[in-house]
Amino acid sequence: MRNLPINQNLNLLIFLTLIPLLTIGCPGGGGGGGGAAFALMGLGGGGGGDVPAPKLEVLYEGVSRESGSTLDIGSEPVNTADGKTGTITIKNSGTAAITLSGSPNIVTLSGTDASQFSVTQPATSSLAAGASAIFTINFKPTGVAGTRSATIKMNSSDPAVGSFQLNLTGEAGVGVFRLGVSVSATQISSNGSFAMGSVEEQSVGTPVTFTVRNTGSFVVNLDSPAVTSSNARFIVNQTSFTGSLAIGQSKTFTIGFSPLVSGAEESNIAILYDGAASFLYKVTATATVKPVPTISISHNSSSFTTGGSIPNFGVVWPPEVAGAKTVTITNSGTATMTGISISKLGTDPDQFTVSAFSAGTSLAPGASGTFTIQFVPTLHGEKNAIVRVQTANGSNGSASSSDLAVVGTGRTGVDVLVTWSATNEKAVNDTDGGYNVCYSKTSNFTAVPIANSIFCVAVPNVGGNTPTSKTISVPSYGTWYFKVYSYGKYNTTGGLPSTQVSVVVPQS
């Protein structure tokens, strides 16, 4: 026999192997005889695919459970308020929808201790491919300690597991004292902790309400006091948290956080009952820096926040006004500054004017405003006053007050030299006679003094000397007219005056 190539040998082997698979003869029955042939799908040119089918899968604590297996739900003391609950997931791991049949309940409960177990029902009786539903099992034993058992069943359209069964077991323990502590939906475990959030320093936060429920097997008698806190900044209000708690009963108390300084703080909380028992946990909170306003006062880039003397206004002719000095108030803090006021006091407050503060009575954080001080003398001489700046909270949240000392001088006069020609009618050694130097801001005046209008000064001859000049101090600036009259023993009216005009400016 001729040897074939290796690939031809392989093809022949496959062909010979497939022959008995492709055609299977079956003997006929009765008079019919004839064999039935089963074609192997998916080979050669024929074709098809897997038929979609549902597949029921049951999981507890993430582990898949087989029908007929035993599910141990664990231990629970007898006569507790809530019992012990576990969650079971029903999942369709197949490729077609699955139906969970059963009426009125999809999941049924039976067995020796069925009354000490309970189940909730799945929310739906139909699961699409890949979908799932849950139900819960609750174990709440009564009586004496020992093992409890029951059975749960469910029917489905899974052709492989039409009826699914789990055998339940649980251990009933002796009765216990037990409390459950929560804030809204958040449960706090024994020796656990609860974060109360943040509160501004030097303020009182909104109290947090803690609910205590008796989840144990016996009545709980609360101690007095029933709640203690290891940190005085965590303030417990337990007015209504007194007396006893029946099984399943709840009562509340509150804890408020009132920090003095910023930073994290904590407190150990103990709920005390029946003389010796306790439920312990910790509360934590953070005190944040309290936003406060901070005043800053300045003039010409110099600080006057704590007060001080504003530079001298100098000499000013009444009733002129000195140049205004601008004072700036800034809120360099982090909260609004309020109650801003500016007032005058001291020796001569009426000789100064203070404008209104440009920002009103408050300043936002980082904002500034200004006011001006002017010297407006109506009197001669040095004048002093205090400008006081006050706020309700400018000293980092507390009231502030700063005094600005101001000073200016009202000018009393300027010396003007008045000269004239000698017109004496007597001998040089005659002491009788002399001159009247009269002056006024009115050009046409006579030598008759009028208060605050016409002024006259006598310049007598002394020792026979005839004076020809006199220094006069005028009381205000402006144009002054001077007239000099000579007089004598026999001519007291005097002769014709000599005249002089002098202009005195405010800066003289």
Report the pLDDT averaged over residues 71-75.
Answer: 96
Q: Residue 22: pLDDT band by 50, 70, 90 thresholds?
A: very low
Report pLDDT for 480. 87
Query: Apex CA 155: angle with CA 150 and CA 159, to 5°?
Result: 130
Phi, psi of 416, deg, nearest 5? -120, 125
pLDDT of residue 289 exceeding 80, the answer is yes
Calculate the CA 487 to chain-centre distance: 90
Instruction: Spell out where 120-192 has E strands.
Output: 126-127, 132-139, 146-156, 163-173, 179-183, 186-188
pLDDT of residue 378 exceeding 70, the answer is yes
Report pLDDT for 120. 96
- Long-range CB pairs of 31-35 (<8 Å, 24+ gap) are none
Report the pLDDT averaged over residues 35-43.
Answer: 36
- Of 321, 327, 326, whose CA–CA distance to 305 is shortest? 327
Calculate the CA 396 to chain-centre distance: 17
Q: Which H/E stretch holds residue 309?
A: strand 308-309
Report the pLDDT averaged over residues 174-188.
Answer: 96
Task: Give the C-alpha separation, 226 to 241, whole Å.
Answer: 7
Cβ-proximal residues to 238 (8 Å cutoff; 6+ apart), any chain = 225, 226, 227, 253
- Of 139, 119, 118, 137, whose CA–CA distance to 76 is shortest? 139
445-472 residue pLDDT tens: 887 888 888 999 988 877 667 788 899 8
Report pLDDT for 17. 40
Please give the model's pTM, rounded to 2 decimal places: 0.61
| Average model confidence (pLDDT) across the chain | 86
- Residues paired with 71 in a beta bridge: 168
Cis amide bond preceding 225, omega within 30 = yes
CB atoms within 10 A of CB 267: 21
pLDDT of residue 426 exceeding 50, the answer is no
Instruction: Spell out where 396-442 has E strands.
Output: 398-410, 414-419, 434-440
Report pLDDT for 43. 37
pLDDT of residue 425 exceeding 60, the answer is no
Helices (H) and strands (E) in the chain, counts: 1, 37
Cβ-proximal residues to 101 (8 Å cutoff; 6+ apart), any chain = 125, 155, 156, 157
Determine the length of the chain. 508
Report pLDDT for 8. 43
Task: Give the C-alpha separation, 439 to 457, whole Å.
Answer: 9
Q: Residue 21: pLDDT band by 50, 70, 90 thresholds?
A: very low
233 within 8 A of 205, measured Cβ to Cβ: no
pLDDT of residue 33 exceeding 60, the answer is no
Q: Residue 382: pLDDT band by 50, 70, 90 thresholds?
A: very high
CB atoms within 10 A of CB 385: 22
Task: Give the C-alpha separation, 427 to 197, whole Å.
Answer: 109
pLDDT of residue 29 exceeding 50, the answer is no
106-164 residue pLDDT tens: 999 999 999 999 999 999 999 999 999 999 999 999 999 999 999 999 999 999 999 99
pLDDT of residue 23 exceeding 60, the answer is no
Tokens 């009963």, located at residue: 249
Task: Give the C-alpha separation, 293 to 391, whole Å.
Answer: 10
Report the pLDDT averaged over residues 1-15.
Answer: 42
Structural domains in the chain? 56-173 (2.60.40.10), 179-288 (2.60.40.10), 295-410 (2.60.40.10), 414-504 (2.60.40.10)
CB atoms within 10 A of CB 429: 9
